Structure 1
Amino acid sequence: MSGDVVGKLARGSFFSRLFGQGRQPLRLVAVPRDHVIGDRARGDALLAGRFLLGSDTVALNEIDFAEVGTHGPLAREIQSFSWLRDLAASTSRERGARLAEAIAGRWLIAHGTRIDNAWAPELWGERILFWTAYAPYILSSRDGGYRSALLNTLAKGARHLDAHADKAPPGLHRITAWAGAVVGSLTLQGGLGRLSRSESGLMRSLSGAQFEDGGLMSRSPLEQMLLVDRLGLVRAAYFAAKQAPPESLENTAAAALAALHGVTMGDNALSSWQGGNPGDSARLSALVEGCGMRARPLRAARGWGYHRLSALGTIVVVDAAPPPPPKMAAMGCASTLALEMSDGAQRMVVNCGGPGPVPTELPDELVQALRTTAAHSTLVLSDTNSTAILPDGSLGKGVADVGIERSEDNDCSRLEASHDGYVKGFGLIHQRRISLGNDGKELRGEDRLVARGRRKIREAAPYAIRFHLAPGVEATVTADGMGAILRSTGAPPWNFRCRGAMLQVEESLFIDGRGQPVPTLQLVVVGEISGVGGEIAWQFRRSS
């Protein structure tokens, strides 16, 4: 997008005609500093005239905000202006401002004079977070008409949030809306009078979307990462305005970061839960380094539900909670009692994952299949999901209660968890016991099916305990068919053994941090279980 475009858009007479004249000039009283470094590759693409997100691309010289709309991940990303962070990582303020102001000018023409879908509270919340943090990129123009139009629209957006933030969907969207309201109060001239109300709204939205341990009720690590980002930008606005953040907000932000750390694997990327994937480890590291907070990983999470066991470089994360409620997660998964494991930076056992909240070329049928119990590293009874996935994509009945017992001693960390997802259909409780030795060399496990309730299996039901392997992990079955040697370039070999069943190696796939499928393998322990139940023991042991 050339400088000529900026000249045509950012003319004082044009914007004065569009937005009117004679308004009191506004100004920002504080400009927050975003310490999170953006994605330089995406910034380079912006400078080259391309907006990239997942598998979708938009040519910036053809961008028309009225046509872009707000439907879908790509449109919402463009509308939010969060890409300003990537632009800033790629170029100087002077060069970046020419592009940013041209796009902001087009946004003002399409949406600045009327309230439409682009004024959705969650979009305005995110827009305020990034317009204020990157004000030098969108307010460098010497054209008073353009500057006045943008600042007055920003103030109008902040007032819009005061009245409509609670209309955003519950969860991260509503938190984002109120976060924008708080930042608007802190940074816009005359906004401090609204700060108390905005703070109350933000804390109310957080308490309605977070468990007490800091994790979001959506149970999505990718959303948790965005939550930490939002709260980091809010804290930056307090510091820029020379105001002290409320203690309750500081505690909430620290808890959110601890929950995020709790689902991070040894390669500094996320474990794959609730339709998400590892994401970009560099982006996660930049966010953690730049958010201005420090916290230790949450190990025993009751609400958030992800339990973490770690010892000398070996990390295990277990889903020990029911799936999220439908109102908090449209794409929840039947993953209860699944696990992931890494040895140093090498992932060993994974879940298949999913595309997350980005555009994808994956077939919808595959995206839905990735939500099933079989796509996760846990036990599947009679090829049935532990929580039903209904034809419309919503979650049905299944896991309602998860029991947890955890202990630590000088030898190992132990976790015993159980779920009732198979009680109604089969009269069986699934129990999973795991222990990780304190030297990090051995993960022992036992899956038990225990009779519960009146319903009984008439004869027998097949089961499969699946351990999906990370890309690059090769599996060689031992001669007795009861074990396998797992080799990878990033870790010493691991030996897998099972007792009470037979082992098979089958094809699988893994959705990587770019949302793309990667072929891989899975260990499948297979057998049959009777109505009285039974148990299957297994073990991963590092050879050195």
Structure 2
Amino acid sequence: MSVASEKGRVWRLAAGYAWQRLLRWLHGGPFFRLRPQPGTPARLLIAPQDLRTADQTNAADIYGGRFLFSGYLVETHGASPFELEGEHPDWQRQLHGFAWLRDLRAADSRISRQNARALVDDWLKHSGRWHQIGWEAPVVTRRVMSWLAHSPFILEDGDHDFYNRFLRSLLRQVRYLRRTINETHDGVERLQAALAIAAACVSMSGQGRFARQSIRRLDQELLRQILTDGGHISRNPRAIVEILADLLPVRQAFVAQGLELPAAMLQSVDRMMPMMRFFRHGDGALAHFNGMGSTPNDLIATIMAYDDARGAPPMNVPHTGYQRLCGGSSVVIMDTGKPPPLGISEDAHAGCLSFEFSSGLKRIIVNCGVSSRSNEMWRKVSRSTAAHSTATIEDTSSCRFLSERPFGRWLGAPIVAGPRHVPVEREDDAAGVRVTASHDGYQQQFGIVHTRDMRLSGDGTVLDGIDSFPVSAKVAEPGDQFAIRFHLHPAIKPSLLRGGTAVLLVCRDGEAWEFDAPGTELALEESIYLSDVYGHRKTMQIVLYGRIRDSQSSAWQFRRTATAKLSRRGSSEFDELARTGELPLADPDEDVSPEVDQEIDQGLNQDAQETAPDVDPKV
């Protein structure tokens, strides 16, 4: 894509964003405050379920005026939290979103109900008319869903005057979403707004004249955003989880009210459930692609309880752009897709042809993932190609992101250029699974096409790969230096073997893998794992260096050299997998070399919770 074409796309996106801001200002802000309000609905008919997990221990902190949101602790000292100014925007978004009502409800006490009513009443007094952050579309969406879900808890024992003020404000917020939905950010944000509007139409009386329009809009968004294979147009696994967490309760509300379920709603749920299984490793974690961070295991477990079919995950999802290779207890998930559309790529990563690799309950090769911290530096690091288990040319990313000037402050950093052609071939036979894919993300700048050929054996004990860099065109600055990175999970202990020509990877249960890349310079370097509930964790990465002028391809292999020994495990999870035949175990009398045995002991004694939040990433 030419530079002129890229600039044209950015200017069109900027013009669209400016128009959306103007419409949002006209539909909201002072104009919205001056509009006459429609009549209050007579009552609430139903409360959609909140599927997200609650923590009742937070109820005592909230009652004491201590609000811990997004990593920021604020003590109100008796004042209303909605009167505070100057707090971090992320903290304010969590406060005004009212997702913490589920924690008060989990406490299930009279004091927690009174506290919830008092805090809702405070919001009505201080922010009910307008608040710069509290009336952002995603915040309003989350607040509407939270108020609807927890309305029985909030309104119990409340007086009639509070009931009316609560319903009047709820209707006003839904009306605001209905007017501004076209100006919200495309993708998950817009779909969740459509879900909130539909949920309100089903839950509140007197909304019949809006119900048909709301259902039609929800149908349109689901058909547009949920792809044929069940993936989301953003290509982010987290999007599927967030959408299902709101879509399933809305579907239940439709059924409870005796309404006919929209076709798109039924199809979307049926498609997304297998897709969520597609991205799962053996330990339940989702693969880190295109904005996926740490896995909300509790929420995923709740969502999967609604999966009636419980079928096997698909292996090939060409519309979303991923491949899944399975053999024995080993799983490989590979990114084989193009970047999402410009307007939805603000969180997308430059990780084409990257992969993650797991064996049983152990993740071995990962991508760095996404930081839970609201930090622009870490965000840039996580989106770069070097933060993924794939190849880079001349230390550059395969995608180009929008720079800060002149529109970066408005538009963020969407992908303005990247791979346009990603052909994929897949072969499944008795010997194993083979996937060959290539991308042209480096062709315009360096005249190089990156090709990756991977094969996982049928028993899952060998993963072979070849990375090739054929020169497809002559350019002014041809690329020559390549680096192929394999980021290791923090639980894996690596050590160099045979004079630094191979790497031994030891898992905590004693399973061991050997990595080898004959004829290519190999290095073991520091890396950082961002997607962890404990924060940023120090880890290592295997890096293969080479020059294209010397060799246009590099072959590598992961080979299992030792499996978990019965005498060393003591894990009920591994015992259960062994009984069901899903995890092959070694003979307890099998001989292991002293070198491997020593590495196993060291790996088992290493602390699994070691963290390093201030590590300088070398990615």
Would you say same fold, with TM above 0.5? Answer: yes
Please, which of 419, 424, 438 is the counterpart of residue 418 of structure 1? 438
Q: Give the 5 Å matches for 1:179-328.
A: 179-289=195-305, 296-328=312-344
Q: Which amino acid aligns with 1:510?
A: Y
Aligned length: 518
Aligned partners of 1:427 and 1:451 also within 8 Å: yes
Amino acid at match of 1:250: L
Label 1:189 to 1:378 Cα distance change in 2 as closer, same or farther (>3 A): same
Instruction: Give the distance between the partners of 2:79 and 2:149, measured in 1 at CA.
Output: 26
Find the residue that maps to 1:476 and give its secondary structure: strand
Distance 1:240 1:34, change over 3 A: farther
How far off is 1:191 after superposition? 2.0
Distance 1:43 1:349 in 2: 39
Structure with greater contact order relative to length (CA < 8 Å, sep ≥ 6): 1
| Alignment partner, residue 517 of structure 1 | 536
Bigger mean CA deviation after superposition, 155-164 or 514-523: 155-164
Which residues of structure 2 form unaligned runs of 5+?
A: 1-35, 405-412, 564-619
- 1:374 paired with 2:393, answer no
What are structure 1's unaligned runs of at least 5 residues? 1-19
Give 1:7's aligned residue: none
Q: Match for residue 449 of structure 2? A: 429
Of 107, 110, 121, 1:91 maps to 107
Question: Is 122-131 or 169-178 further displaced after alignment?
Answer: 122-131
Q: How does 1:15-414 map to 2 (within 5 A)?
A: 26-39=42-55, 45-46=61-62, 49-59=65-75, 61-65=78-82, 67=84, 72-88=89-105, 90-92=106-108, 94-113=110-129, 118-289=134-305, 296-356=312-372, 359-360=373-374, 362=375, 364-392=376-404, 393-414=413-434
Q: What secondary structure, in the 3-state scheme, does the structure 2 residue paired with 1:402 have?
A: coil
Distance 1:251 1:353 in 2: 30
In the other structure, the counterpart of 2:459 is: 439
Equivalents in 2 of 1:318, 1:312: separation in Å?
A: 17
SS in 2 for 1:118: coil
SS in structure 2 opposite 1:146? helix
State the partner residue of 1:12.
none
Q: 2:492 aligns with which of 473, 480, 484?
A: 473
Q: Secondary structure at the match of 1:355?
A: coil
Give the partner amino acid of 1:382.
E
Residue 163 of structure 1, CA deviation: 3.1
- 2:410 paired residue number: none
Q: Cα gap change, 1:158/1:294 in structure 2, threshold over 3 Å: closer, same or farther?
A: farther
1:499 aligns with 2:518: yes
The sequence identity of aligned pairs, in percent, is 28
1:452 to 457, 472, 477: 472
Residues 473-508 of structure 1, C-alpha deviations (whole Å, 9 max, x = no match): 111111143311101214611111112312110111
Query: Structure 2 counterpart of 1:223, which letter?
Result: A
Deviation per CA, 1:386-444, whole angstroms, max 9, x where unpaired?
Answer: 11234424434232221111121122122111100111122211111111222122211
Structure 2 residue aligned with 1:15: none
CA distance in 1, matches of 2:68, 2:359: 33
Q: Structure 1: how far apart are the matches of 2:87 and 2:325?
A: 41
Q: CA deviation at 1:220?
A: 2.0
TM-score (norm 2): 0.77
C-alpha deviation, 1:203, in angstroms: 1.7
Contact 1:510 1:520 in 2 (8 A): yes
Task: State the SS of the aligned residue for 1:428.
Answer: coil
Cα drift, residue 48 of structure 1: 5.4
Corresponding residue of 1:536: 554
1:293-343 CA-to-partner distances (Å, cap 9, x unmatched) read: 856434322232232222333221111112233421323221111111112
CA distance in 2 between counterparts of 1:135 and 1:292 reads: 29
Please report how far the alpha carbon of residue 96 of structure 1 lies from its aligned counterpart in structure 2 after TM superposition.
3.2
Name the amino acid aligned to 2:397.
Answer: N
Query: AA paired with 2:232?
Result: L
**Cα distance, 1:510 vs structure 2:** 0.3
Counterpart of 1:76, as a letter, is R
SS at match of 2:500: coil
- Amino acid corresponding to residue 487 of structure 1 in structure 2: V
Q: Which amino acid counterpart does residue 375 of structure 1 have in structure 2?
A: A
* CA distance in 2: counterparts of 1:71 and 1:206, whole angstroms: 33
Determine if contact 2:293/2:531 at 8 Å carries over to the other structure: yes
From 466, 483, 504, the equivalent of 2:502 is: 483
8 Å CA contact 2:366, 2:486 repeated in 1: yes
Letter of the 2:552 counterpart: G
